[in-house]
Amino acid sequence: MAKYRKLGKTSDQRKALLRSQVTALLYNGRIITTEARAKEVKKIAESLITLGVKEKDNFETVTIEAKVPERDKDGKRVKEEKDGKKVTKYTTVSKEIKKDLPSRLHARHQMLKVLYPVKEVPANVVGKKLNNAGRKKNTKEADLCAKIFDEYGTKYANRNGGYTRIIKIGPRKGDGAMEVVLELV
């Protein structure tokens, strides 16, 4: 008996497919896929959420001092003269950050092995201007690990597994494969 489904793909293709579908599920909350793929994605997603539930409160809050450059109304850095040179003007800001304890850091690294990085693009920017580096303006990297710890960890704290559900839609038109909706409960 096999431990996993091969899904008609080579191992590198299969791993990439499962990683992308797990990332999409945890970012969006639901995906539509075939039944066999959904069962494999479910295993991986449930283990990641379990990690998040176990380590949700395992951090300490630390206050740090950071130097931030001052900006004018156009968003450009404010310059001041020192010894005949123009130097950027900085202000010191205190900031509270969450510092992972070792077990939570290990859990975060386990999650990052599986999850792909996700870029968030604002709705009003889609299909519009690119900046000089070829990237869309105001895009930022979404922190899925933080979402798993903060959002899903607290949401599923009182639940012992069973974080996802599979709902059958029906056969796909082209090849007759059973399509399902895989969603977080």
Question: Would you kindly state where each structural domain of the chain is located, as residue ranges?
Answer: 18-58+101-184, 59-99
Q: Is the dihedral of CA 167, 169, 171, 173 positive or negative?
A: negative
- Assigned fold of 18-58+101-184: 50s Ribosomal Protein L17; Chain: A, (3.90.1030)
Alpha-carbon dihedral 75, 81, 82, 86, rounded to 10 degrees: 60
pLDDT band at 159 (very low <50, low <70, confident <90, very high): very high
Which tops the pLDDT comparison, 111 or 79? 111
Residue 107: enclosing H or E segment and its boundaries? helix 102-114
- Is the whole model's pTM more than 0.85, yes or no? no
Please give the sequence-ordered ranges of beta strands (E in DSSP) within 70-163, or none if there are none: 79-82, 85-88, 90-100, 118-120, 140-142
- The yes-or-no verdict on residue 133 having pLDDT over 90 is no
Q: What is the mean pLDDT of residues 53-65?
A: 94
Half-sphere exposure of 105 (CA within 13 A, CB side): 6
pLDDT at residue 125 greater than cutoff 70: no
Q: Which residues pair with 26 in a beta bridge?
A: none
Question: What residues contact 165, with CB distance under 8 A and at least 6 apart?
Answer: 182, 183, 185
